[in-house]
Amino acid sequence: MQVSFEDFKLNKQILDAIAEAGYKEPTEIQQKAITPILAGQDVMGIAQTGTGKTAAFVLPLLMKLKYAQGMDPRALILSPTRELAMQIEEHIRLFSTNLDLRTVLLYGGLGPKTQKEQLEKGCDIIVATPGRFLDLYLEGYINMKSLKFLVMDEADKMMDMGFISKIHRVLEVVPRKRQNLLFSATMSELVRKIAGDFLAFPTVIEVTEQATPAKTVSQTLYRVPNLKTKINLLQHLFKDDEAFHRVIVFCKTKEVADNVFGFLDRKYGEDNVRVIHANKGQNTRINSINAFKSGEIRFLVATDVAARGLDVSNVSHVINFDVPIVIEDYVHRIGRTGRAFNKGDAITFANPAEEYYVEKIEKLIRQSIPVSELPEDVFVEKTPFDERQTIAREIDNQKKKDNPDFKGAFHEKKFVIKQKEALKSGFKPKKTTAKSSGVKKKGKKFKNS
C-alpha cells in the first residue's frame, strides 16, 4: 500500500509546502519516524545519509510547534558542522513557508553579533553547532526554560569530532521534561553511550543495515599506484563530460585538495571548479557550495569537512581521490550521490597503502567494492622515491597496528645492520668538519675548500 504525506495528519500549511517543494512520497525513514515523533515518543533513528532523515524530524517538529509563541526557543537542533546546520535550517525554511515560526541559525566561524540580535528578537527553533550554542547560552542570550524538543543529528560525527563533553554540558542546561530525537548513520560505542544519557525508552528505527551505502549508489574501486597516476585517471574519466556532469572529488588533506583543484582549474577553467576545506573562509565555503548546488560549476573538490550536510540533487559522481582513514566517512562521502531515489556513482582510487582501509570499509559495509582495471590509455607514472618511501612506511605502520611484534622495513635494527654491511664492503661515511662546513670555530672563520 502506497503511503502519502496526507496519511500523517499534517496540517494543510505543511502539506502545501511539501507539495510546493516537489516531495511526492515519504521515504522509508520518514514513514517510520514521523508517526512516533508526532505521538511524543523519544526516537533513535539509524539511517544512512541521503534517505531523507532531516525531513523525518523537521516535519513533525513543525506540526507540533504550529505557530510563533513567546520569546524563548521551544526546539533545539544540534548539528556537528556549520554546513549541516545550514542544511537543516534550509529544510525548516522550505517546509515552514506557510507558517510564522521563527528559526535562528547559530554556528562559529562568523562574529556572533548578528546571531545575538536575532536571538533578542525572539525565536521558536534554534539550529546550532554545540560550541556556538554554549557560548551564547553562557553569555545569557538564550533562555532554555521553554524548551520542549531536543534533536541531535549526525550523532556519530558529533562523537568523532569530540563533542561529547559539550553535549553533556547542553544536557545539564536544558529542562528534564522534553522530547528527544537522535539520528545517526552508524551506531558506535560512543553513540550508544550518549543515547543512554539522552533518550528515555526510545523507539528505535533502523531503515537499513548500519553503515550500508544507499542502494541507488553504484560503487567502483581502481587500484592506482601513486598521486600522478590518480590525476591521469581523473583526467581520463572527466573526458566523458556528459556522464560526469556534477562531481564531488573528496581528498584526505587540504594540500591534496589544493593540488587537485589546481589541476582541474588549469584543465577546465576557474568557472568550472571550486575547492572547500578548513582553511577556506566561511563565506567562500558557502558561496562554493551554492555555486555547485545551482549548477554553475561542474566540480567541487572537498575534504571531509563537506562530507555531511551537503544536500545537492543530481550529483552524478562522487570520486574518493583518497580513501578516508576514518572508514565511516566512506558511507557519508558516497551518500552525497544517489540521493532521494536518484541513481549515482561512487568511484574510489586506492594506492597500495590505502588498500588496508578499503578492506576495513568492506567489512563495515558488509560488501565487496567491485574492482575495475585501469583503462589502457591512462598513463601509469613511476612512483617518485619520496612517495614510495611514504607508502612503504604507512604499510609498515598498518602491519604494526595489526601485529605489535612486526618489526617492519623501517625498523631501527635493520638500519644499523645495513650500516654495518656497508662499512664491511669498504664504504666510509663522509666526515663533516668545521673546515668543510664553513662554520666558525674559536673565533676563526673557515672557508669551504
Strand 217-223 to 371-372 pairing:
parallel
Q: Per-residue pLDDT averaged across 90-109, rounded?
A: 92
Q: For residue 432, what pLDDT is reported? A: 45
Q: 57-66, 204-213, 270-279, 350-359: which has the minimum mean pLDDT?
A: 204-213
- Which pLDDT score is estimated for 440? 45
Question: Quick one: pLDDT at residue 177?
Answer: 92
CA pair distance 113, 280, nearest whole angstrom:
21
pLDDT over 60 at 444, yes or no: no
CA distance to 63, 95, 123, 278, 325, per residue, from 66 (Å): 5, 12, 13, 38, 43
Dihedral pair phi/psi, residue 318, rounded to 5° = -110, 125
d(CA 109, CA 230): 33
How far apart, in Å, are the Cα atoms of 428 and each of 425, 432, 433?
Answer: 9, 12, 15
- Residues 360, 354 contacting (CB under 8 angstroms): no
Determine how β-strand 273-276 pairs with β-strand 299-302: parallel
Q: Would you state the pLDDT for residue 31?
A: 92
pLDDT digits (tens, 9 = 90+) for 34-74: 999 999 999 999 887 667 889 999 999 999 998 999 999 99
- Cβ-contact 221, 371 below 8 angstroms: yes
Residue 204 has pLDDT above 80, yes or no: yes
d(CA 191, CA 182): 9
Q: Is residue 152 over pLDDT 50?
A: yes
Say what the pLDDT of residue 213 is: 66
b/e burial code for range 317-350 (CB count within 10 A of at least 16 → b): bbbbbbbbeebbbbbbbbbbbbbbeeebbbbbbb
pLDDT of residue 247: 94
Closest CA to 337 of 237, 253, 250: 250
C-alpha cell at 436: 668543510
pLDDT value at 144 more than 60: yes
State the pLDDT at residue 425.
54
Q: What is the pTM of this model?
A: 0.59
Instruction: State the Cα–Cα distance between residues 54 and 126, nearest whole angstrom.
Output: 15
Enter the C-alpha cell of residue 58.
523537521
DSSP conformation class of 144:
-
Give the integer Cα–Cα distance in Å for 132 and 112: 9
State the burial class of residue 144 (Cβ atoms within 10 Å of its Cβ: 0-12, 13-18, 19+).
Answer: middle
Which helix (H) or strand (E) covers residue 440, if one does?
A: strand 440-441
CATH 3.40.50.300-classified regions of the chain:
5-206, 217-395
Q: How far apart are CA 190 and CA 17, in angstroms?
A: 37
Instruction: Reply yes or no on whether the pLDDT at 410 is more than 60.
Output: no
Q: What is the rounded distance in angstroms from the CA atom of residue 222 to the CA atom of residue 189?
A: 32
| 442 pLDDT above the threshold of 50 | no
Higher pLDDT, 194 or 259: 259
pLDDT at 20: 86
pLDDT of residue 438: 46
Q: What superfamily in CATH does domain 217-395 come from?
A: P-loop containing nucleotide triphosphate hydrolases (3.40.50.300)
* 5-206 fold: Rossmann fold (3.40.50)
247 in Cβ contact with 297 (< 8 Å)? no
303 with 83: CB under 8 angstroms? no
CA distances from 155 to 123, 222, 297, 334 (A): 24, 31, 31, 18
Q: Which of 4-18, 91-105, 110-124, 334-348 has the lowest mean pLDDT?
A: 334-348
- At position 137, the amino acid (one-letter code) is Y
Minimal CA–CA distance to 303: which of 250, 241, 258, 357? 250
pLDDT of residue 124: 97
What angle, 0 to 180 degrees and rounded to 10, lies between the N-to-C axes of helices 164-173 and 130-138?
A: 40
pLDDT at 211 over 70: no
User: Max alpha carbon distance in the chain (Å)?
Assistant: 95
Gap between the Cα atoms of 158 and 166, Å rounded: 10
Q: What is the pLDDT of residue 321?
A: 97
Mean predicted lDDT score pLDDT of the chain: 85
Give the pLDDT score at 332.
79
User: What's the pLDDT tens digit per position in 365-399?
Assistant: 888 999 999 999 999 999 999 999 999 999 988 88
Mean pLDDT of 29-38: 94
By the 8 A CB rule, do 385 and 346 touch?
A: no
Q: SS3 of 104, please?
A: strand
**Percent of the chain at pLDDT exceeding 90:** 51
